[in-house]
Amino acid sequence: MTADDPYVVPAAAVFNLRDLGGRPAVTGSVARGRFYRSGELADPRVVADPAVVGLGLRTVVDLRTIHEVRERPDHVPDGVTYLHLDVLADMPPQAAADQARLMSDPHAFAQAFGGFDAVAQMQGTYRDLVTGGAARTGYAAFVRAVLAAQGAPVLVHCTAGKDRTGWASTLLLLAAGVDAEQVRAEYLAVNPAVRRAFAPLIERYVASGGSADLLAPMLEVRPEYLAAAFAEVDREFGGFTGYLQDGLGLDGDEIHELRTLLLDTDGRD
């Protein structure tokens, strides 16, 4: 952990690695050392990184598209179960290719998409994370992977660990009874790490005459993105409990067990 952000787990081979534990809930707090989030695990050094190995992970859940996985496959320590859940599988294949083009050639991306509203696009993506068929199937499977781990450490990630992973983290925190202010704080807390990770890309783009304002909405998290997801939850399912039950198909026993696993009710770390 770091002094300025107690939820950060410094790691040489993984960026944006965070422990979801420690956030206060209605009863107790979220258990530390059980639920982690991060950016991609594509660096081969991950398997021997002391910070990652020291987590004692049981399961790694990868929320990236199949295109992203093929381009930059995960490396996980020995004995860790790897689960790929493409929560944007019903996205048109070209969209995944466009994301890759953004990372490799932002000028080509800008020429193709310079006129589009990036903020509105991101809000639409967040609505898809709530109601899209692949997203509902994927996040339900993610919750059941957490249940199957029975309190053993689970790490969830996508590419930057900000949007798909941000919703996965939000899902867990809300299920634990963490209030909306704390949920938003965790969601937005990844921005420093994400901005550092993408800084070289933006600097190259700006140095060659591009505008950072075009890329920034897609390379950070913003309150209005999470607000779009919450509004979709309320509109489609009448609230978060309805989302868990009707959106993800979880039954009452699963929801109760999830909350029990998430919470540290007696002060243990």
Average pLDDT over residues 243-269: 88
DSSP string, 96-136: HHHHHHHHH-HHHHHHHHTTS-HHHHHHHHHHHHHH-HHHH
Contact 16, 161 (CB under 8 A): yes
32 pLDDT above the threshold of 80: yes
Looking at the 3D structure of the chain, how many domains does it have? 1
pLDDT at residue 201 in the model: 80
245 or 114, which is more confident? 245
Report the Cα 268 to chain-centroid distance in Å.
Answer: 25
**128 or 217: whose pLDDT is higher?**
128
Contact, 49 vs 14, CB < 8 A?
yes
Q: Which one has a higher pLDDT value, 269 or 48?
A: 48
Range name among 83-97, 217-231, 232-246 with the lowest pLDDT average: 83-97
Mean pLDDT of 88-100: 64
Please report whether residue 207 resides in a domain.
yes
Residue 258 lies in a domain: yes
Residues spanned by the domain of 162: 18-264
Nearest to 262 by CA among 142, 135, 130, 150: 150
Q: How far apart are CA 205 and CA 104, in angstroms?
A: 11
Within-domain flag for 186: yes
Cα 79–Cα 80–Cα 83 angle in degrees, nearest 5: 140
| Cα–Cα distance measured from residue 71 to residue 253, given in angstroms and rounded to the nearest whole number | 39
Among candidate residues 110, 83, 112, the one with its CA nearest the CA of residue 209:
110
What tokens does 117 get? 């509203």
What are the pLDDT digits (tens) for 57-83? 999 999 999 989 999 999 999 999 999
Considering the domain boundaries, does residue 24 fall inside one?
yes
* CATH classification at residue 112: 3.90.190.10
What pLDDT does residue 207 have? 80
Q: What is the mean pLDDT of the chain?
A: 90
5 lies in some domain: no
DSSP β-bridge partners for residue 157:
38, 62
The DSSP 8-state label assigned to residue 24 in this structure reads B
* Range of weakest confidence among 12-16, 104-108, 149-153: 104-108
Give the integer Cα–Cα distance in Å for 57 and 36.
9
Contacts of 145 (CB under 8 A, 6+ apart): 59, 61, 83, 154
Q: What is the pLDDT of residue 267?
A: 46
**pLDDT, position 265:** 65
Residue 22 lies in a domain: yes
Q: Please, are residues 186 and 244 in contact by the beta-carbon 8 Å criterion?
A: no
Q: Is residue 32 situated within a structural domain?
A: yes
Termini Cα distance of the chain? 14
The percentage of residues in the chain with a pLDDT greater than 70, rounded to a whole number, is 88
| 156 is a domain residue | yes
CA atoms of 70 and 157, how far apart (whole Å): 15
